[in-house]
Structure 1
Amino acid sequence: MGTNALISAAASATITLLAIAEPASAQDTSAAQANNPLANTTALNFQNQYFGEIQGTDRDANQFYLRYAQPFQAFGGDWLMRATVPVNTVPLPGGDDETGLGDINIFAAYLFDTGNPAVSFGIGPQVTAPTATEDTLGSGKWSLGLANVLFNGTNPKFQWGYLLTWQASVGGDEDREDVNLGAFQPFGFYQLGQGWYLRSASVWTYNFDTDDYGVPLSLGIGKVIKTDRTVVNVFAEPQKYVWTSGDGQPDWGVFAGLNFQF
């Protein structure tokens, strides 16, 4: 898997974890539900994924992305739309780097009624557009696929779930490699109190065309501040890749972000 393919998979898979800092134990349930990536709120996120010591190059890469999530209603049901606009930096032969706009990804998840307000389940289509400003920064392909999210917030102290995505190319530059990527992001979120929390939400990627894969493990910490109008969430999550195959996989990484929930 090349660096741009790894970045594409990571961008389409990463979710946003939010928590409200509530001082009283009676408010633990509301704090847990605020961590729900399928929550009925509008979110604006500034996030950064750093990839260190990429195999085959011994260089690093970076992806900064702007994310916007918006709930809406359609076809008699509730949906959540999320759009990701990445700015990628990838290494070039000769020692230089290329920085610019990557491929924009959008998915819309239909929210099923699970019968339990603390458990959310959504699934729906996703599309990735070949918007990269340079060939090295994207796939050059239109891709379609699916996104599936599960969130379990029944425990006010610990919430868990996953985001599963898959996408395959359906058009675009015929001279570029086809896209057939899967990404799985298991996540856990442990609340320490006073707005502090531990988190693990690294993205596992698999290329169905080449059998390349990357599986990181991670543990991070964050702080949530609730204001009158928004919930501010800042976090950093170091990652270590423990199982990899194929050039373009990093040895380690850091995922960090500043999220706003309105």
Structure 2
Amino acid sequence: MPITRALIVAGIVTLSATAHAQESNDNAELAKKLSNPVAAMISVPFQFNYDQNIGPLDDGHRTYMNFQPVIPVPIGNDWNMISRTIVPVIDQSQIAPGTGHQFGLGDITQSLFFSPSKPSSSGIIWGVGPAFLIPTATDDLLGSKRWGLGPTAVVLKQDHAWTYGFLFNHIWSIAKVGNDRTHSDISNTFIQPFLSYNTPTAWTYGLNAESTYDWKAHQWAVPVNLTIGKLVRIGNHPVSFTGGVRYWAQHTDAGQKGWGFRFVVTLLVPEKR
């Protein structure tokens, strides 16, 4: 009888260890997919940011949350259309002298990437498509009062634990909202080189620069973000938690300066096997 019990206990321990190892492998795989902007996986990030030293007097600050759902749509057997939406909710104060406080919705950016469902023979992953700027801001100081349109593209490679590449878009204003004369037309280039390292225990270390060049003002804004993330499971649901700091290596005359912070909670909906 003792031998039988020992065998049962050993079997339970073995099954538990196997299940734990499988879950760890699954988590690491999901964390790596999350490093790919055009992965065929539904993800819903809630990205919280804080920036300071805004405006000519450096006394403004901004807290904002970007709701950024990513939804893949299969197109036949060989292609995916990846929808990436950025919906900003902004709280800001004194971004310019006498402007006071604003809270509300900013302009929505909608990108559609058409991407092959499999990497190329050399391991390159890419996607191209249109990007749209939608003037949804609820306050004049939270948005551009312009409809915008332009191209977007992403190119990356995942080599073992490393992911590296860049994301690009350029948006021109194509129409104004009503008879607005208080906002300038837009011609902005966004370039985001990124690098991340994923561990077998589903930790992710990331570095990127979300660079924007304003062709109207001839100015760069370059925040460099350093982040650390961990993918865990709450019940059976995978969730990624990421935190980090950023430094504005280059800023516009009226933009953010110095240090900022970021915290991201990402809900994932992996493919069913």
Q: Same fold (TM over 0.5)?
A: yes
**Post-superposition CA distance 1:192-246 (Å, at most 9, x none):** 4422221113311110111111222232211111467542111112011122342
Residue in 2 that maps onto 1:135: 140
Residue in 1 that maps onto 2:115: 111
Q: Does 1:145 align with 2:150?
A: yes
Corresponding residue SS for 2:209: coil
Give the CA RMSD over aligned residues.
2.6
How many angstroms apart in 2 are the aligned matches of 1:244 and 1:179? 18
Residue in 2 that maps onto 1:4: none
Q: Check whether the contact 1:88–1:137 (CA below 8 A) recurs between aligned residues.
A: yes
Corresponding residue SS for 1:171: strand
Q: Does 1:87 align with 2:94?
A: no
Residue in 1 that maps onto 2:15: none
Residue in 2 that maps onto 1:64: 65
Larger Rg: 2
Q: How has the CA–CA distance of structure 1 residues 84 and 73 changed in structure 2, closer, same or farther, with 3 Å as cutoff?
A: same
Corresponding residue SS for 2:267: strand
Q: Residue 55 of structure 1: CA displacement?
A: 4.3
Residue in 2 that maps onto 1:180: 187
Q: Residue 22 of structure 1: CA displacement?
A: 6.5
Residue in 2 that maps onto 1:47: 47
Q: Check whether the contact 1:33–1:153 (CA below 8 A) recurs between aligned residues.
A: no
| Residue 169 (structure 2) aligned to one of 165, 190, 193 | 165
With normalisation by structure 1, the TM-score equals: 0.82
Corresponding residue SS for 2:67: strand
Identity, % of aligned positions: 25
Residue in 1 that maps onto 2:246: 239
Corresponding residue SS for 1:219: strand
Q: Check whether the contact 1:69–1:81 (CA below 8 A) recurs between aligned residues.
A: yes
Q: Does 1:101 align with 2:105?
A: yes
- Tell me the number of residue pairs that the alignment of Structure 1 and Structure 2 aligns: 240
Q: Check whether the contact 2:106–2:142 (CA below 8 A) recurs between aligned residues.
A: yes
Q: How has the CA–CA distance of structure 1 residues 242 and 122 changed in structure 2, closer, same or farther, with 3 Å as cutoff?
A: same
- Residue ranges of structure 1 left out of the alignment (5+ in a row): 1-20
Residue in 1 that maps onto 2:19: none
Residue in 2 that maps onto 1:36: 36
**Residue type matched to 1:132 in 2?**
A
More helix by share: 2
Residue in 1 that maps onto 2:201: 194
Deviates more, 1:217-226 or 1:180-189: 217-226
